[in-house]
Amino acid sequence: MTFYEELRHFADSFGLLAMLLIYLAFCLWPFRPNGKRRVNEAAHSIFKDEADGE
């Protein structure tokens, strides 16, 4: 088995699993216990300049 075939086998099996785990981590990150405050700050940050100007 060549190096390319070994690398391809690894990517086919564990690469997909790694991408799935990273995707799930990104999707679930905002729902962690102490994340609500930071999510609200990020959601309202686009209105920050409007509130300061009035």
CB 30 within 8 A of CB 39: yes
- Total domain count, the chain: 1
Quick: pLDDT tens for 5-43: 998 988 888 988 999 999 999 999 989 888 888 888 888
pLDDT value, residue 51:
61
How far is residue 50's CA from residue 48's CA, in Å, rounded to a whole number?
6
Residue 52 confidence class, pLDDT cut points 50, 70, 90: low
- CA torsion sign for 29, 30, 35, 41 is positive
Give me the domain span that covers residue 24: 3-53
Q: Round to whole Å and give the CA distance between 29 and 24.
A: 8
- pLDDT attached to residue 25: 96
- The tokens describing 3, both together, are 């190096």
Residues 6 or more apart in contact with residue 39 via CB below 8 angstroms: 30
